[in-house]
A and B are shown apart, each in its own frame.
Chain A
Amino acid sequence: MLEFAVSAPFDPAADIAAGIIPAQFPWLSLSILFPIVGSLMVPFIPDQGDGRQVRWFALGIALTTFLITVAAYLNGYDPSFSGLQLSERVSWLPNLGLTWAVGADGLSMPLILLTSFITTLAVLAAWPVTFKPKLFFFLMLAMDGGQIAVFAVQDMLLFFLAWELELLPVYLLLAIWGGKKRQYAATKFILYTAGSSLFILLAALAMGFMGGGTPNFEYAVLAQKGFSTSFQLLCYAGLLIAFGVKLPIVPLHTWLPDAHGEATAPVHMLLAGILLKMGGYALMRFNAEMLPDAHAQFAPLLVVLGVVNIIYAALTSFAQRNLKRKIAYSSISHMGFVLIGIGSFSALGTSGAMLQMISHGLIGASLFFLVGATYDRTHTLQLDEMGGVGQKMRIMFALWTVCSLASLALPGMSGFVSELMVFTGFATDEAYTLTFRIVIDGLAAIGVILTPIYLLSMLREIFFGKENAQLASNTNLVDAEPREVYIIGCLLVPIIGIGLYPRLMTDSYRTAIEALVNRDVAAMETISRPTAPMIRNPSLAPALLQAPKLPSPGAT
């Protein structure tokens, strides 16, 4: 009870003055704890062992969690306010400086919604799971809570715990329900992520203890500390490795094709839909927001890595003959745009990075779901063993086509908007020299050519042409069932909705991104001696800045 006594200093009035709106109702705590409590109840659900009851229960919990997050968004969240909202703080272990601090701003709210949405659909996608269903759904629900916590917590130590907590379910889901090489994949995954997250811990501790006094790991406090540039650079480098593994950034990506290659469809959806976004979110939250001086130095590196991601992964995806690995590499390629967006000092580009995360969450989940559904029928993932499948699976063919087109950034779908925002944001970003911008935009645009090459040849090899007689005789190629159409339909609604009118999504985080970018731009402008020659020479700034300010008569 001591903890609650200590919570007195948290004065609501002071909070508002500091730009934080406390929650009227503990929406976020509820959305974190509800699925976790639900998961703990799974063992007590009467079930004959084939998962018929427990899956309904899990779906109910996941759906309720989704509704809770939606209610939080509708009732407690004001998109026009850039600071922290729905904030709850309870001092937990004051000696450790650990506080149960949750809250949401523009960076986290869209991802919280995405998490609960994708998890609900993943539970629905897990309908055919009959092997140890109780454990499976227990892990799924536990992950739901853990992932929402990753996005919602406002304390770095808590963040680390949530980050680690979510690894265990993924590890087990991989190791128990995966494919043939599941042990290898799961071990690789855990070694990679657990190893890299040591850097988070080190950085968190260093940042928390820096400057003496009672350790405090709250984001708001850390952001106010004003670390020295060299300290920031050190922390930045550590965190970049940790989050770079998750995102992933080439060359830290090799766990991903293995993990994705072995996971089952629902786990895929979570891996591609949410887990990768944790890396992007954390890069924005910690690297860009809390370490602005270091970010100004490191940003060109992020941009270059982003371009490497786009081209390198697109090429490897093209050469892949295994369907799951192909899509896995395409995920890596798409995350390159997130990196470029974060590395740009423009609200448009960073906003595009955020949208790309949401968009890829939806599109990646849909593609991986389709991979799973196709595998259920063909029992092979080798493209050489498929062919002409479209003859019997016409609806499946249609769904595949739509999702592939979404993935190759067809206008009218969300991927196009986000990539365009990154492109435009970076092209008009006066922080970089013109040559650098031309080279980067030009190289990134090569991705625009490569993506359709690998996605369309994949479609051609699976569905087009004469039916593969051997495949057709050995397997039962039934067309998509209503449940599968429904899942893809649910994912397509936001994909197309955002594509047609992106402000549906961008307006919900616009102010927060603008605040973040202003902070970074301010930091960038104060660095006297840029380490990276790609960043503009300050003395040249005024001349370059005038370039895009011409009025546009036709634009109104």
Chain B
Amino acid sequence: MPSAADSAWLIPVLPLIGALITGLGLISFNRTINRLRKPVALLLISCVGAAAVISYTILFEQLGGAPPVEHLFVWASAGDFSLPMGYVVDPLAAVMLALVTTVALLVMIYSHGYMAHDKSYVRFFTYLAIFSSSMLGLVVSPNLLEIYVFWELVGMSSYLLVGFWYDRDGAAHAAQKAFVVNRVGDFGLLLGILGLFWATGSFGFQGIADGLATAVSSGVVPGWAALALCLLVFMGPMAKSAQFPLHVWLPDAMEGPTPISALIHAATMVAAGVFLVARLEPLYSQFPSVGVFIAVIGTLTCFLGASIALTQMDLKKGLAYSTVSQLGYMMLAMGCGAPVAGMFHLVTHAFFKAMLFLGSGSVIHAMEDVVGHEPVLAQDMRLMGGLRKKMPITAITFLIGCIAISGIPPLAGFWSKDEILGQAFQAFPLLWVVGFLTAGMTAFYMFRLYFLTFEGEFRGNDEAMQAKLMAAAGKSVDEEHAHHAGSLHESPWSMTLPLVVLAVPSVLVGLLGTPWNSRFAGLLNPEEAMEMAEHFSWGEFLPLAGASVAISVVGISVAVLAYALHRIDLGELVAARFPSVNAFLANKWYLDAINEKLFVRGSRKIAREVLEVDAKVVDGVVNLTGLLTLGSGEGLKYFETGRAQFYALIVFGGVIALVVLFGVLGGPIA
């Protein structure tokens, strides 16, 4: 019986076909296609929807114990080298397929409302479909090289979507930064893939792991080289999953439309790095020191993201740093040798963070009617407040997201984060302390976001504050935007429906991963799940879980005291006493400044100097030779008068004459 897994190739191909049709349409019949909004949206949503149906069928097959399916064909060959491409469907891929198609589908429905007033609505949907296609292709890739192919393609989609509003300078810079920083990661990934291929002769995940083990044990590949290769490959996930110090692109990428932030920069693409590390588990499990490195980077990222999120005033930036922090948790799990825990957090995080981002989009959508289409104003929480009364659905789903990410049982985030912290406690107690403290910070900054946005009095009409913000951003107050004077309102159904749908898994999906009976682990790694269930004891679980919940509650309480009840003034209590710490956090650890100074300006300077050398030295020598040959102090003038043609013809004629001469003379002599 043909199983759904055999038609898994359709999953990435369907959205691609949709994107091709509309993309070609946009190029050839721009105006007509731009008018056909509903048909285009319907076509692309049904493509992704069909992909979702297949994905869920596959997921249920895999849950039912179907064997993994792999289909390959020879893509390129030369000499004795041949490179297979194709697709693989196993439990890991099945989970990701279901996740990506779900979020993509909901985000597309949401975008129908969010982008309704945008003149590039059709282009946006086309890009969304291209992204979905590449992301799904990445998920079903059977080897590292194919992963690399789709890795770049999701990066390209991200570039196109971050720069979607290309008339904004911020978007233009952010898109370029995202692509280039990711290329830095890809640089390592590519070299790592090449090196691993050199060492093992394989691109397949298992093939690489087995080959490298053999090569190291037989001494063909020295241990340090194997380690270096593993770390090089890890550079890819570091950039894509925004790990320190390559995380700098992700907060800037919030310049893109909010549905994109939810889909690409929270739920799916940024998780690709974590996914790749999970795929490479057979390789990384051989090198404990690589695990330590990954865990340390993950913890550092986790702490860095949370600490910066504490002071952010931009709603989306706050969420972005929260994403950075949560990705750090996932990497920490990978480093602890617990890919199942990391993947589980990836899944739960995808649901609640997508919901949070879509919620923030709903807020921004409403704010734009009051303060105008100016991201500096529409996204700043100093102008929000009291939105719950006007937009109850958004507020409630946002609150659910906050509880879920803070790790309050029984919501999704509790189970996944607690499992990671439990693993870290056993593997690296020191890192556990950091992760534990970060959990408290997470709870605090999330509720800070919630209270500032949805509770208290609405501050959106405070013109003095508006002017101040615009001045701080270095923009002039635009008269057109200044008096938009609409009123707040709940978003249309197409935007609230995805929020409500996402709230369900945000609450419930964690129950699939309870440590005493983890269905999730049972799907990905049945043996580990059995072991977990056997070794589970309430005596071990309760103290750790209790501690995590307690610190979250502390974080929430501080937020309540500071922002809901206004009993304590954190600005006076902390920020004023430790101005350097505050400045350090507000300036995002000064990392952007260092980047700007060291890499951006540095590379420009080097490039200018090389060009200078090229123009003056290399070309100068040539022109000098020309001068000397012509025996004229004003040789260059010759070049610019018509007479130079004459000289050139003489040279050419001379060459021809030489041919004939040599031919005639040469013939008889030889």
Q: In the bound complex, what is the Cα–Cα distance between A266 and B72 (angstroms)?
A: 42
Interface residues of B in 155-182 (CB under 8 A from A): 156, 159-160, 163, 166-169, 171-173, 175-176, 179-180
The 0/1 profile, CB within 8 Å of B marked 1, for residues 318-350 of chain A is 111000000000000000000000000011100
- A411 → chain B, closest Cβ, in Å? 4
Q: What's the Cα separation between A554 and B655 when bound, in Å?
A: 59
What separation, in Å, do the CA atoms of A215 and B668 have in the docked complex? 10
For B644, the closest partner residue in chain A by CB is A187
| Segment of B395-403, B561-569, B603-611 engaged in the interface with chain A | B603-611
Say how far A482's CB is from chain B's closest CB, in angstroms.
8
B-contact bits for A205-241, CB 8 A (1 contact / 0 none)? 1000100111100000000000000000000000000
A175 vs B173: C-alpha distance in the bound complex, in angstroms? 40
Interface residue? A96 (CB, 8 A): yes
From A254, A452, A503, A551, B77 is in contact (CB under 8 Å) with: A503
CA of A485 to CA of B183, assembled, Å: 29
**CB nearest to A438 among chain B residues:** B195
**Any B CB within 8 A of the CB of A46:** no
Q: Measured between alpha carbons, how far is A115 from B454 in the docked complex, in Å? A: 65
Interface size on B, residues (CB 8 A): 98
Q: Is A369 an interface residue (CB 8 A)?
A: no
- Shortest CB distance B663–A (Å): 4
With contact pairs A348-B81, A424-B194, A460-B176 given, residues A96 and B667 touching in the complex (Cβ less than 8 Å): yes
Cross-interface CB contact of B655 among A164, A410, A411, cutoff 8 Å: A164
Least distance between A373 CB and chain B CB atoms (Å): 15
Task: Tell whether A213 pairs with B670 under 8 Å between CB atoms, given A187-B648, A442-B191, A464-B167.
Answer: yes
- Asked if B190 CB lies within 8 Å of chain A CBs, one says yes
Residues of B within 8 A of A192 (CB): 622
Interface string of B645-670 (1 = CB under 8 A from A): 10110011001101100111011101
Q: Are B604 and A555 in contact (CB under 8 A)?
A: no
Chain B residues contacting A446 (CB-CB under 8 Å) are 187
The residue that A391 contacts in the complex, of B148, B167, B211, with Cβ under 8 A, is: B167
- Smallest Cβ distance from B606 to chain A, in angstroms? 6
Q: Are B670 and A555 in contact (CB under 8 A)?
A: no
Report which of A394, A417, A503, A556 forms a contact with B84, defined as CB distance below 8 A.
A556
B interface, by DSSP: helix, strand, loop or mixed?
Answer: helix
Contact B183 A254 (CB under 8 A): no
Q: Are A194 and B655 in contact (CB under 8 A)?
A: yes
- What chain A residues lie within 8 Å of B636 (beta carbons)? 184
A269 at interface, CB cutoff 8 A: no
- A552→B604 contact, CB < 8 A: no
Q: Would you call A183 and B645 a contact (CB within 8 A)?
A: yes
The distance in angstroms between the C-alpha atoms of A198 and B657, with both chains bound, is 12
Q: Judge whether B458 is part of the interface by a CB distance below 8 angstroms.
A: no
Of A316, A398, A548, which is within 8 A of B611 by CB?
A316
Chain A 164-175 interface 0/1 with B at a Cβ cutoff of 8 Å (1 = within): 100110010001
* Stretch of A281-289, A510-518, A530-538 contacting B (4+ beta carbons < 8 Å): A510-518
Q: Digitize B600-618: 1 where CB-to-A-CB distance is under 8 Å, 0 elsewhere.
A: 0001101110110010001
Indicate if the CB atoms of B610 and A315 lie closer than 8 Å: yes
- In the bound complex, how far is the Cα of B210 from the Cα of A1, in angstroms? 70
A52 interface residue, CB < 8 Å from B? no
Closest CB-CB distance, A440 to chain B, in whole Å? 11
A197 within 8 A of B: yes
Set of chain B residues within 8 Å of A253, measured between Cβ atoms: 618
**A347-B81, A547-B220 known; A553-B207 Cβ under 8 A:** yes
Please, which residues of chain B bring their CB within 8 A of the CB of A56? none
* Complex Cα–Cα for A320 and B615 (A): 11
Binds A, one of B43-51, B197-205, B581-589: B197-205
Asked whether, in the complex, the Cβ of A191 is within 8 Å of the Cβ of B640, the reply is no
Q: Are A254 and B173 in contact (CB under 8 A)?
A: no
* Cross-chain contact of A555 among B173, B203, B648 (Cβ < 8 A): B203
Q: Find out whether the CB atom of A315 lies under 8 angstroms from the CB atom of B670.
A: no
CB-defined contacts of A464 to chain B, threshold 8 Å: 163, 166-167, 169, 171-172
A390 to B169, CA, bound (A): 13
B-contact bits for A377-391, CB 8 A (1 contact / 0 none): 000000000001011
Q: Would you give the 0/1 interface string for B196-234, flagging 1 where the beta carbon is closer than 8 Å to chain A?
A: 011111111111101100110000110000000000000
**A201, B648: Cα distance in complex, Å:** 18
A95 in the interface (beta carbon within 8 A): yes
Answer whether residue B631 sits at the interface, using C-beta atoms and an 8 A cutoff.
no
- A138 proximal to B (CB < 8 A): no
In whole angstroms, how far apart are the Cα atoms of A184 and B622 in the complex?
Answer: 13
Q: How far, in whole Å, are A421 and B81 apart by their CA atoms in the complex?
A: 10
Given A198-B655, A320-B611, A547-B198, verify A425-B78 contact (CB < 8 Å). Answer: yes
Q: Which residues from chain B contact A320 at a C-beta distance below 8 Å? A: 611
Please report the C-alpha to C-alpha distance between residue A485 and residue B30 in the assembled complex, in whole angstroms. 12
B201 touches A212 (CB 8 A): no
B169 near A465: Cβ-Cβ < 8 Å: yes
> Least Cβ distance of A308 to chain B in Å?
11
Known A-B contacts A254-B614, A452-B179, A456-B176; the reply to A550 vs B191 at CB < 8 A is no
A550 x B603 contact (CB < 8 A): no
Q: How far is the CA of A466 from the CA of B475 in the complex (A)?
A: 13
In the complex, are the beta carbons of A554 and B206 less than 8 A apart?
yes
The answer for the CA separation of A553 and B173 in the assembled complex, in Å, is 45
Q: Within 8 Å CB of A175, what residues of B? A: 645
- CB-CB under 8 A from A254, the residues of chain B are 614, 618-619, 622
Q: Considering the complex, which residues of chain A in the window 471-489 have a beta carbon less than 8 Å from any beta carbon of chain B? A: 485
Is A351 on the interface with B (CB-CB < 8 A)?
A: yes
Is A427's CB within 8 Å of the partner chain B? yes
Q: Which residues of B contact A201 (CB under 8 A)?
A: 655, 658-659, 662
Tell yes or no: A128 within 8 A of B by CB. no
Using known A-B contacts A319-B604, A460-B172, A555-B84, determine if residue A445 contacts B207 with beta carbons closer than 8 Å: no
Whether A506 contacts B143 in the complex (CB less than 8 A), given A254-B614, A552-B204, comes out as no
Q: Are A554 and B204 also in contact (CB < 8 A) when A191-B648, A421-B78, A465-B172 are? A: yes
Q: Whole-angstrom distance from the CB of A104 to the nearest CB of chain B?
A: 20
Instruction: Decide if A555 touches B647 in the complex (CB within 8 Å).
Output: no
Q: How far is the CA of A507 from the CA of B160 in the complex (A)?
A: 34
Within 8 A of B (CB), among A428-447: 428, 437-438, 441-442, 445-446
Residues of chain B contacted by A348 (CB below 8 angstroms): 78-79, 81
Contact A553 B655 (CB under 8 A): no
Chain A residues within 8 Å of B652, by CB: 164, 167-168, 190, 194
Q: Say whether B607 contacts A318, CB under 8 Å.
A: yes
Q: Check if A549 is an interface residue, CB within 8 A of chain B.
A: yes
Tell whether B542 is near chain A: CB-to-CB under 8 Å: no
Residue on A with the closest CB to B88?
Answer: A554
Which residue of the partner chain A has the closest CB to B152? A411
Question: Using Cβ atoms and an 8 Å threshold, which residues of chain A touch B626?
Answer: 188, 191
Whether B191 contacts A190 by the Cβ 8 Å rule is no
With a cutoff of 8 Å between Cβ atoms, the chain B residues found around residue A195 in the complex are: 651
Indicate whether A506 sits within 8 Å of B77 (C-beta atoms), given known contacts A167-B652, A187-B645, A448-B187.
Answer: yes
Per-residue contact bits, chain B 37-80, to A (CB 8 Å; 1 contact, 0 not): 00000000000000000000000000000000000101111111
The 7 closest A-B pairs by CB, nearest first: A554-B204, A347-B79, A552-B202, A464-B172, A554-B207, A411-B149, A319-B611
15 A-B residue contacts at CB 8 Å?
A: A184-B639, A192-B622, A315-B606, A316-B611, A319-B610, A320-B611, A347-B78, A348-B78, A348-B81, A411-B150, A411-B153, A421-B78, A427-B198, A466-B167, A554-B207
Chain A residues in the interface with B (C-beta under 8 A)? 93, 95-98, 157, 160-161, 164, 167-168, 171, 175, 181, 183-184, 186-188, 190-192, 194-195, 197-198, 201, 205, 209, 212-215, 250-251, 253-255, 312, 315-316, 318-320, 346-348, 351-352, 388, 390-391, 394-395, 397-399, 401, 405, 410-412, 416-417, 420-421, 423-425, 427-428, 437-438, 441-442, 445-446, 448-449, 452-454, 456-457, 460, 463-467, 485, 501-503, 506, 510, 513-514, 517, 546-556
Known contacts A320-B611, A503-B77, then 12 further A-B pairs from the complex at CB < 8 Å, ordered by chain A residue: A93-B663, A192-B622, A254-B619, A318-B604, A347-B79, A388-B167, A405-B156, A452-B179, A552-B201, A554-B207, A555-B203, A555-B207
